[in-house]
Amino acid sequence: MKILLAFFLLHLTRGNLGQSANMQPNYVLIMADDLGIGDLGCYGNTTLRTPHIDSLAKDGVTLTQHIAAAALCTPSRAAVLTGRYPIRSGMTSFRRIGVYIFAAGSGGLPTNETTFVKLLKEQGYSTGLIGKWHLGLNCESSEDHCHHPLWHGFDYFYGLPLTNLRNCKPNGGNIIIVGARSTVRTAVQVVIVALITLLLLCLLGLVTMPWKALGFLFLAVVLLLAALLLFFSQFRNLNCILMRNRRIIQQPFTCENLTQRMTSEATSFIGRNSDRPFLLFMSFIPVHTALYASPEFLGKSRHGLYGDSVEEMDWSVDIQGTIALVPFSTLP
């Protein structure tokens, strides 16, 4: 996984840009999953149009040897928020998958971890997360939301508690079945061989087992496989969730205009907090698969759906920057 991390220190104040620079600055942190370093103009790309991100790089600093603390979404995001190696907060290990996939699963970033968001909130900042969280949701039940962003210093959250897997897009494919195909195939083969062996041993009289019990065993295996197939077929309906704070507002969420909706929420957050310092963490849904783009950007790039998604993200950066750099007194 490659992550673009852009950090803006906007010296904006409660009235206009001409006030004292000693006032608390506002922060806008932008993150994008799976964006290649070679896919931006500021790093040498000449075929993808990213003028607004390039402008930020021109006026700021570009990093060429920075690496993430982990190669997957969940642990690398935990490291960004805490400044610690993710293994220290239990967000990665050698014995389990390093990301959260199911909404009903337990676990997440421990609430006793100190995030930079909590530190800014203690300084009087209004804090908002727009986009992807992917650091856990529940502990004991599907409603306790003990790992929710609001427990980690954010005042406002609008986005996905998990991530945008291919399963979340109609006809986008099933990444779980693809990823577990070899494991499932091996398990099914072992079960079938074991049942056939048991049947042959019974027929040869080497093992005594009631035929009724054997029939129940076959039935149990068939029902288990059917239940797994049903669960995976309903993954989108069960796990692809869009939330506002602790309330689910769309299940499953739709990709249509999703980036534009996130952008609207980000600019609204900036406008609502014109009278106090704020931190906005814009955690983009693109360009993580499943890929998508709004109709205005669909088919407009030279690199297919991926390029469309990158160019729409660049548009979003421009909109947020334009709003943030306008004196607060002129905001509607």
Per the document, the length of the chain is 332
- pLDDT, tens digit, for every residue of 87-103? 898 888 776 667 788 88
Q: What's the gap between Cα 259 and its chain centre?
A: 13
Strand partners, 114: none
- pLDDT, tens digit, for every residue of 253-264? 999 899 999 999
**Catalytic hit among 11, 52, 134, 139:** 134
**Catalytic hit among 42, 52, 73, 303:** 73
Closest CA to 312 of 288, 289, 295: 295
Closest CA to 286 of 138, 168, 147: 168
CATH superfamily of 3-164+240-330: Alkaline Phosphatase, subunit A (3.40.720.10)
- pLDDT, tens digit, for every residue of 113-122? 999 999 999 9
Q: What is the DSSP string of 135-198?
A: SB-BSSSTT--TTSGGGGT-SEEEEESS---GGGSTTS--HHHHHHHHHHHHHHHHHHHHHHHH
Respond yes or no: is residue 73 known to be catalytic: yes
Rounded mean pLDDT of the chain? Answer: 82
Respond yes or no: is residue 255 known to be catalytic: no
- The distance between the two most distant Cα atoms of the chain, rounded to a whole number of Å, is 94
Spans of all domains in the chain:
3-164+240-330, 175-233
What are the φ and ψ backbone dihedral angles of 17, each rounded to 5 degrees? Answer: -75, -10
- Identify the pLDDT of residue 2: 44
- The residue ranges of DSSP E strands in the chain, in sequence order, are 3-10, 26-33, 126-132, 156-160, 242-244, 247-250, 278-283
Q: For helices 258-272 and 304-325, give the axis angle rounded to 10 degrees.
A: 10
Please indicate, yes or no, whether the overall pTM of this predicted structure exceeds 0.85: no
